[in-house]
Structure 1
Amino acid sequence: MGTPRWAARIRRSDGEIVGSGILLSPDRVLTCAHVVREGEPVTAEFVGAEGVDVPSVTAHVIDGMYKPEELDADLDPIGDVALLSLDTPRPADEAVQLHRLSSPGRPVRMYGFPEAHNGGIWLPATVLGGCGRDGQVQLTPLGPGLLASPGFSGGGVVDTETGEVVGMVLSKSEARHGSGFTFMSPAETIVQHLEDVADWTTGLEAVDVRLRSGASDADEALLDTLFAERLATWFRDDGRQVKISLVPDGDSARAATLRRAITLADRELRTWASTRRASLDPPGTVPSAGGHDLAVVADGLTAAEAADLIANRLGLWKPPDAPAIDRIRAAKATLTLVVVGVDKAAEPDRLLDLLALLRTRGSRLLLVFGEAGAHFRRAQSELVIEPTQRQHDALVALLDEITGPLASALRQRMAAVHSDTAKRALSALVRAYAIQQELAGTHGFVAGLGQNHDLGVFGESAARSADRIRSAIGTHDELVARRDELRGRLAAYGDLYQAEADHEDLDMADRYLAAHQLLQARPCDVPAAEAAVLHYIRSVEEPDASPAQEGEPPR
């Protein structure tokens, strides 16, 4: 966690610190394009170098290695990467390589040089997921005040578990998307924009070379538009965890369409040259960049070999002597996996066992078969039909609980006491009723097809509704308990006053009656009742208080 030797502090000619950089080789530094200007030299300072003095080296942008930030058709940012050449090389052991790694949900830390921390600091974050067409990744800070500020631009993002540099911070001075997040360009996206960076990038490439779209795949006749639309929809996450497709031998159009979708969904391979007619692609057929984390060909592959590829992509290297499948079973990490030719694997049944484990752990799977044989039917049954039916049954049970016991409990508490949480809870209840009616309107759910894309969305919405209603019930229960406590205190102080009073006091009687009526009201406004009770209690405890004092709000 000390200052990394590869971290470069970028300073312009006027002395202003404008960002960070990553030393990839003795004479190459990676940074954000908005940190530097083409043709203008900057100074790269290596604060983590050995010795007392901080080495300062003049650097400039390499011709052709500058990709400024632009906005795509969706107004999402793309690019913002640059590669610098150092006039004086640094020691080779100070450099670091980028690493390809499946990163969703992983803890990371980033290093930069923000204002007031010119010596550099680390900030922790969690990878939230991809965003936009460029394959950029959204990072969530672990707490308030931990959002990367402009001095982090161009800094390295380190995977906490493996220690590998997996990307570069894209933070800018102006807030993006309402702030609250930091953005990272992962290794694959950087290589897509700056091909030279591939020389300093390690890790398993996401796509098997046999699944990469070639020049011949650009033929219009080889595009199965409907299949392309379904693939693009799944890669954009349509709510289905598992998709099973058939690509029979000899179906060149379907095979080319599959290769095209896999290629376009990869951050590193997704370039304008990937299709050679990107602007002419039919609407809805282009998947999101980063739509998958790994795409493999299963032909002749054993289950152990497949597990090794998956564990490698997930960074599950420890313990090294444990079988890869055991490391996968023990890990929390998930990925979006494409397996082509499942039925042609060396061990199809054992491979399906591995895929079932991944599904159970939360991974998304696109499984491609050559024929609708026994293994295809097993995959449909075990990975789609049965889990979908269980998901449906669990959703129905949750909705029954929400609209039955939880709704009844909420109504009882709302009749007893007033709470500001009631309105949101009622909205959640209405949403649950709507989902229940939607499911009932299907006239018998056909789980066998496994095509109900809405189950995942419905399930998440129903779970949020249940949590909100349970929370509201808990809040109401606390208020009911407080109301009952106030009733007891009012009765006790009423008895105390009657025992000690030597004459009738109409003001005291009015105060008691006001508090009593507020406590008996349905629903009870507990804060208002509490104020009235405390006012009466104070009057009993301080009978000699002046009128001005008595008129003060009770404390």
Structure 2
Amino acid sequence: MPSADAGDEPWCARVRDDTGQVLGAGVVLGGTHLLTCAHVVEGVDAVVVELPIAGVSVRARVAPGWTVPPQPDERGDVALLPLDRTVREAGGAVLRWIAPYRGRTVCAFGFPRGTEHGVWASARLAGAAGPGAEWVQLDALGDRRITAGFSGAAVFDDEHGDVLGIVVGRHTGESGLAWMIPVETIGRHLPGAKRWVESEPPVDASFTSGPADGGDRVDLNHWLAHKPGGSVLVLVGAEVDALRRAVVGSSRESHPGRPGAPPLDSIDLAVDATGRTAVEVATRVLGRTGAGVGDDPVRQVRLETPPMTLAVDGVDLAHDPERLLAGVLDPLAARGSRLILGFREPSGLATRTRGRQPGGTAARRAQHTADLRALAAAEADLLRLAREVGAPPGRLRAASLRPALSPGAQVDLDDCAADIARAHRAVRAERDRLDRERTAPHGPLDAPRPPGHRHPGTAPHRHEYAAPPEPHNGTQARDHGHAVGQGHQSKRVDPHGPLDGAHARDHGHAEGEGHRPDHRGHAGPRGPLGTAQPPDHRRAGWERPDPRRERADLRGLLDATRALVVDHGFAEDVGLDTRYREAAHHLAHSDLARSRVAVSAYRRAVREAIEGNR
């Protein structure tokens, strides 16, 4: 969870009335509109929109036709307010249609009573809930919970930061439950909000344009309610009409609640494969999960897709039906996805596909174990690349996921598959980031970057800073990444692993003699790879390091160290476990300075335990 000093979501808004009373929260879209809940602005004609992170405020008007008040059954409750002026400092939030599969972690930034600058809260998606299943349930993670003052706040994905919906309500008891209105439902109530959605709709147009009244011989509602992960249903000819009807009935963009329709979100993605290649279908699936598309989408979709319910029509009309089945659809079923496959004409391929049976629990465990081995190999490659570049890797998860698949372990295979897929996505994202650092065209890694420089192909930051982070004193300055050495000449991160070398190298620091502090009395500032920045970098417009990225790097160091604990047989060591929990707690709930100290203390304790056992 980002800390309250994250500062990279300038579009997070606090909403006040003209008397100064806080009404709730919201998200600024495109610098021109405020998206929030209708009950937040109920009874007022205008509000004051404050952006604490961007440091600006602006008025917004409640416009006719742009507000859907809560209905008697609590559906609706969304509002889009035009701002009195464009707020360029707010940047632009990205709305995204993403399958809200169980277990996805999200964050929200709200303004409970007594918190002038706002607080972060983390949650985990639990599935469709609320009136007519329009909402998605949020289960609290950690001590900070979604409370009063979060209504209308953006709910964004931990993995990539895109907005998945807005907070609509919370439980008044101690359960920590809350709910969000997802982007699909917002778009159905307020079509004008779709202009800020940067992903394809979850349903291809052919499903809504064809007949949806046939196929009565097929009861898809029963199949969707009872069939386990890995199940495959094949529909041929006129039976495909039942698929179209089910897709339309379960889509949040349609008008839910029609008699006989399946539950909302019971089908995560509906793709028309007619004329499409396996790569194109794989790319479509990856887009629905929110994953960035790499060089090999077919391989990527196998490893990075969590279990989902996928409807694919026109399988026999695909560019290469055999390759689509063998390269994309069969591997998805083997990893727990449920597939409804439509064939336009009877054929041998349809018959063979219909005759396939799901592999069962043992087969799924074997598949997940193989994927976990692939993850461990990918993380080992990532560590080698990180040492070559001289930067810490991101969070490593293979060691922590391994016990779930050990013989006799009781585990939800869908949750396990989702965790492994999420870890594969994280490794690929980190590898892409480190590859950009290694192949940067600006010159050697030690060369300072000019102000405002970005690597080609990388997206601009949502918000750039003219001011750097506040300097630290004493040991905190060393932990924050400052080097002490003659003429700002630094050493790279030690290439021999996360626990080798002196403590000063834990985060890529070097100490030496004869250092001349800058005019503030602190060691000279370091760049993201441990390279020296010019003393006047503040005046030259250097960008502030991303606190969320640094927090992710610390998590990576913590996980890598935890993996060493397990590998060296210290998994049951109470003292090390206590240190680990303290570090994990600070990463989730404390500022970066305390988090650095806690992670470093855990790493020192592990190093001492390993060296003492040799």
Residue 333 (structure 1) aligned with residue 324 (structure 2): no
Residue 116 (structure 1) aligned with residue 114 (structure 2): yes
Residue 135 (structure 1) aligned with residue 163 (structure 2): no
In structure 2, the residue corresponding to 1:98 is in which secondary structure? coil
Question: Which structure 2 residues correspond to residues 28-107 of structure 1 after superposition, within 5 A?
Answer: 28-49=33-54, 54-70=55-71, 72=73, 77-91=74-88, 94-104=91-101, 105-107=103-105
Question: Which structure 2 residues correspond to residues 352-501 of structure 1 after superposition, within 5 A?
Answer: 352-353=325-326, 354-382=328-356, 385-387=357-359
Distance 1:343 1:90, change over 3 A: same
Cα drift, residue 12 of structure 1: 2.1
Q: Corresponding residue for 1:156?
A: 154
| Cα distance per residue 1:94-143 (max 9 Å; x no partner) | 23231112231222211111223221122222222222534321122223
Which amino acid counterpart does residue 222 of structure 2 have in structure 1? T
Distance 1:137 1:162, change over 3 A: same
Residue 182 (structure 1) aligned with residue 155 (structure 2): no
Matched pairs, number: 362
| Cα distance per residue 1:256-307 (max 9 Å; x no partner) | 44322211211123358xxxxx4xx3xxx21111122210111222211111
Q: Corresponding residue for 1:494?
A: none
Q: In 2, are the aligned partners of 1:21 and 1:29 still within 8 Å (CA)?
A: yes
Question: Would you tell me which structure has more helix in proportion to its own residues?
Answer: 1
Distance 1:241 1:70 in 2: 38
| Cα distance per residue 1:473-504 (max 9 Å; x no partner) | xxxxxxxxxxxxxxxxxxxxxxxxxxxxxxxx
Distance 2:185 2:229 in 1: 26
Cα drift, residue 324 of structure 1: 0.9
In structure 2, the residue corresponding to 1:312 is in which secondary structure? helix
Cα drift, residue 348 of structure 1: 1.7
Distance 2:255 2:298 in 1: 30
Q: In 2, are the aligned partners of 1:69 and 1:79 still within 8 Å (CA)?
A: yes
Q: In 2, are the aligned partners of 1:59 and 1:87 still within 8 Å (CA)?
A: yes
Distance 1:263 1:360, change over 3 A: same
Q: In 2, are the aligned partners of 1:234 and 1:243 still within 8 Å (CA)?
A: no
Q: In 1, are the aligned partners of 2:13 and 2:26 still within 8 Å (CA)?
A: yes
Distance 1:155 1:379, change over 3 A: same
Cα drift, residue 20 of structure 1: 0.6
Residue 351 (structure 1) aligned with residue 324 (structure 2): yes
Cα drift, residue 343 of structure 1: 2.2
Cα drift, residue 368 of structure 1: 1.7
Structure scoring higher RCO (CA < 8 A, sep ≥ 6) equals 2
Q: In 2, are the aligned partners of 1:38 and 1:61 still within 8 Å (CA)?
A: no
Q: In 1, are the aligned partners of 2:230 and 2:334 still within 8 Å (CA)?
A: no
Question: Which structure 2 residues correspond to residues 213-252 of structure 1 after superposition, within 5 A?
Answer: 213=209, 217=212, 222-227=213-218, 230-236=219-225, 238-239=227-228, 241-248=230-237, 251=238
Among 255, 259, 275, the residue aligned to 1:270: 255
Q: In 2, are the aligned partners of 1:213 and 1:259 still within 8 Å (CA)?
A: no
TM-score (norm 2): 0.54
In structure 1, the residue corresponding to 2:267 is in which secondary structure? coil
Which amino acid counterpart does residue 117 of structure 2 have in structure 1? G
| Cα distance per residue 1:24-44 (max 9 Å; x no partner) | 123210001121115432211
TM-score (norm 1): 0.60
Rg (Cα) greater in structure:
1
Distance 1:115 1:367 in 2: 51
Distance 1:360 1:243 in 2: 10
Which amino acid counterpart does residue 299 of structure 1 have in structure 2? T
Distance 1:115 1:130 in 2: 29
Question: Which structure 2 residues correspond to residues 289-300 of structure 1 after superposition, within 5 A?
Answer: 289-300=264-275
Q: In 1, are the aligned partners of 2:236 and 2:350 still within 8 Å (CA)?
A: no
Distance 1:294 1:262 in 2: 9
Cα drift, residue 378 of structure 1: 2.6
Distance 2:38 2:189 in 1: 11
In structure 2, the residue corresponding to 1:150 is in which secondary structure? coil
Q: Corresponding residue for 2:245?
A: 260
Distance 2:193 2:110 in 1: 21
Which amino acid counterpart does residue 28 of structure 1 have in structure 2? H
Q: Which runs of 5+ in 2 are unaligned?
A: 367-408, 413-614
Which amino acid counterpart does residue 259 of structure 1 have in structure 2? R
Q: In 2, are the aligned partners of 1:234 and 1:240 still within 8 Å (CA)?
A: no
- Aligned identity (percent) is 34
Distance 1:236 1:150, change over 3 A: farther
Which amino acid counterpart does residue 18 of structure 2 have in structure 1? S
Q: In 2, are the aligned partners of 1:270 and 1:289 still within 8 Å (CA)?
A: no
Distance 2:157 2:317 in 1: 35
